[in-house]
Amino acid sequence: MGDTLGAPYRDTLLFMELKPPPSPFRIQLVVMTPNGFGRQPIPGLPDDIGWVRWSPDGRQISFISYDRDIGSGIGIANADGSNLRFLDDTGQYGGFGWSPDSLRLVYCDLSLEGLFAGHSTGDTLHLIDVDGTNKKVIGDLDVNEAYPDWSPDGKLIVFTAGQEATSKSELFVVTNTGKERRQLTHLDGFVRNPRWSPDGRKIAFTYGEIPHRQRIYVMDADGGNPAPVADFSDFAVDYPIISPAWSPTGRSLVFSAKRGDPRLDRLDLYVVNVETGAIRQVTDTPDIHEGGVDWYGSSLDVDPSGKLPTTWGSLRLIDAER
């Protein structure tokens, strides 16, 4: 990838890679072009991780670590894996998102203060600086909140909220101060993984009437016109589509899913065109699970012809979203 591992010059996918049994359990982070080229692992990271994100400036990678030996909580490192550090015991289960200036994180975690005060809290929204300072609760201590994502203009945070008793959830937005909250969806089901489009006009998310049949939907940022982006009928019905992430141009979404023969227990990466619903398979790796994907890049890097110039190895011009 150019001359520096993990330094994204154009479009770069970041995702988790897991080899199923009998291989030893290990989840590692990998970078690759959206066309499946230049696949490289990022060294020096924990073996038990989840929930990956690029920082908006592309200089850092982030993930949730469950590795008690190396470090637990939200892990942050330079894009090449160096300068690894942890925000201890933060965001263990509810996920996190970056502020547009790459200086703060919003994450969901248990609020001990809420429990001590008698609230029936699950995970709730918190803010924290990337150096671990200025931690602040901005969520509702009486509901279970998860999957936060910060709007491109920095003003709003989208997230899911619901009661732990049913696990059903809806999408909400809240200001970055936590003072104004508004419900966006009324779908009466299982809503997960909201992500703002790069221009802030749309929100992608996964939805299903039952948890393991979630499919990708896109709606207007005000909650209007929610609709599936494609026909997912040939994807596995016993496993949800997970981790949709927008392309830098906002034309496509990358995601992880099982497709085809239900006997094949594996996850691959796919890209769907939001306008046409066309789906392209990115990886085809029978012995590897790929999930937890995120997409970094700049829409300014795309040539007017629709081709994508890249500095990865010997690659020349590729259409990353065709």
Q: Where on the phi/psi map is residue 297: left (φ > 0), alpha (ψ -120 to 50), or beta?
A: left
- The pLDDT confidence band at residue 70, using thresholds 50, 70 and 90, is confident
Among 124, 112, 193, CA closest to 162: 124
Is the model's pLDDT at 200 over the cut of 90?
A: yes
Query: What is the model's pLDDT at position 303?
Result: 33
Comparing 285 with 262, which gets the higher pLDDT? 285
**Pair of tokens at residue 146:** 């998860």
CB 8 within 8 A of CB 298: no
Q: What pTM was estimated for this model as a whole?
A: 0.86
Q: Exposure pattern of 127-136 as b/e (b: 16+ CB <10 Å)? A: bbebebeeee
Is the model's pLDDT at 51 over the cut of 90?
A: no
Quote the CA–CA distance of 295 and 52 in Å, as a whole number: 10
Neighbours of 21 (CB within 10 A): 6
Worst-scoring range by mean pLDDT, 8-22, 26-40, 60-74? 8-22
Share above pLDDT 70 across residues of the chain, in percent, rounded to a whole number: 79
pLDDT in tens, 203-223: 999 999 887 788 999 999 999
Compute the average pLDDT of residues 288-304: 72
Query: What is the model's pLDDT at position 168?
Result: 83
Is the model's pLDDT at 110 over the cut of 80?
A: no
Among 168, 161, 166, 165, CA closest to 194: 161
Worst-scoring range by mean pLDDT, 14-28, 246-260, 308-322? 308-322
Query: What is the model's pLDDT at position 192?
Result: 92
Quote the CA–CA distance of 78 and 62 in Å, as a whole number: 9
The residue extents of the domains of the chain are 12-318
Give me the residues paired with residue 268 across strands.
257
User: Which phi and psi angles does 280 have, rounded to 5°?
Assistant: -120, 130
Query: What is the model's pLDDT at position 40?
Result: 93
Comparing 172 with 123, which gets the higher pLDDT? 172
Architecture of domain 12-318: 6 Propeller (2.120)
- The pLDDT confidence band at residue 119, using thresholds 50, 70 and 90, is very low
